[in-house]
Amino acid sequence: MSTENEGTAVPPAPSAPPVPVETPAASAQGASHAGGAPTAPIPAVPGTPGAPEHPSAPAGMPAYASAGAGQGPDPHGQAAPQGSAPEAGWPPPPPATPSYADGGGSGTGGWGSSYQQPAPKPKNGRGGLVAAVLVAALVAGGVGGGIGYSLAKNNDNSTDSTTVSAPSTSGEVRRASGTVANVAANALPSTVTIEAQSTSGTGGTGTGFVFDTQGHILTNNHVVADAVDGGKLTATFPSGKKYDAEVVGHAQGYDVAVIKLKNAPSDLKPLVLGDSDKVAVGDPTIAIGAPFGLSNTVTTGIISAKNRPVASSDGSASSKSSYMSALQTDASINPGNSGGPLLDASGAVIGINSAIQSSTSGGLGGSGQSGSIGLGFAIPVNQAKYVAQQLIQTGKPVYAKIGASVSLEDGTGGAKITEQGASGSSAVEAGGPAAKAGLKPGDVITKLDDMVVDSGPTLIGAIWTHKPGDTVKLTYTRDGKTHTVDVTLGSREGDN
């Protein structure tokens, strides 16, 4: 997934061309990217979504609500052995990955595509006849419309009119609690459009929401990545008030970041955080964001799936992957929605919109931006809340780990512990959780507690929903036999 600007300006739609004799299909021209914004499409992990992407994501793959695809470098900047993802370091994503929700893939047509006037064809008998019929129909339509308007006007002035007007009311229309309009009215004032700009002037647009009364805003890491090293950050509320901001902490693995408003107002209203563990498939969802730079946009849908394994990256050559056990929704999410809240019917935040599946080739960072096809992914809010609190307290993320490197290749029937770790290190960390539990290279982990594990990225995303010190039950196969063991998760601090 590449982190791309969703603040791309939408070019004015061309005026309707005159009706041609025959209307050959106009050749659509690809829309160009607007400034890069932190949301991108996530390419799908083989069998599951997930892998970093800077290069364009292959068609049909997910991307960040900014996007990208490709093979990420290892945590130390060296290429990890093919097929292995050092868990102790930084596991690169599988060959394909979803994209961030704030960047898109290349494509033709859509907003920004220019209309090409079809070349007039030589007139012949049939063409002239068709044109004459069209003109006659248009004229007839105009006459009929004029007569209809005249009759309607006369009827309105008569005492026999059957038109019924709604009674005028002096008060405002009230929307019942739980309606989309009511939820949006309450949530919009606490949602901001974020603009991030690097020292070189590149950047993009994303979304965030008020986390506490101290001025902390919760968003995606890829939304603010451009501004991390001395760049510029601003947050704009629907009221039009704009504040400078700074990055408090960011976690690339979780794709979560916290920024803080400078000179924050005293009347901030944090959004209520829900419980993502209690979300059920089919529950209604409401997403708020700035798709393609259109701030304060509200869309609706349902929870399509839970615990969806997704790996994504911003598409840069140096990018590391983000791994999610995501909430999947069909609410329309596009480049620019990244970092925005995914709400339930009561208005509580249940997730942070982060990535989209792209049906186009390429992702954010490419020559174009992909759009919603009804496959959006959000970081569960229970995980995001825990990470945000860590970032506010220490500025650094902490990750749970089992201390073993697993393959990112598909078709292994689970998460297979590799024969060797990154840079020639041991695949099973000496004295680590996996070693203490008796796990060895070649073991294939098939379940974590009651969750089926079908690949390395699925296991990584599932582990990262836990905290260091948690005990989980791993089911694995060795020499054709199934075993179950309890593993107490270790910890790793920082993204390096």
Residues assigned a catalytic role: 222, 255, 338
d(CA 358, CA 337) in angstroms, rounded, equals 14
d(CA 89, CA 74): 7
CA 141 to CA 410: how far, in whole Å?
A: 61
Q: Which H or E run contains 246?
A: strand 242-251
Give the Cβ contact number of residue 134 at 10 Å.
13
Lookup: tokens for 383: 């995980």
Strands (E), 36-166: 42-43, 62-64, 84-85, 98-99
Distance in angstroms (rounded) separating the CA atoms of residues 377 and 389: 22
Q: State the DSSP code for 141.
A: H
Number of neighbouring beta carbons within 10 Å of residue 189: 16
Integer Cα distance of 399 and 86 in angstroms: 14
**Helix or strand holding residue 322 (H, E):** strand 322-329
List the structure tokens of 193. Answer: 């459009």
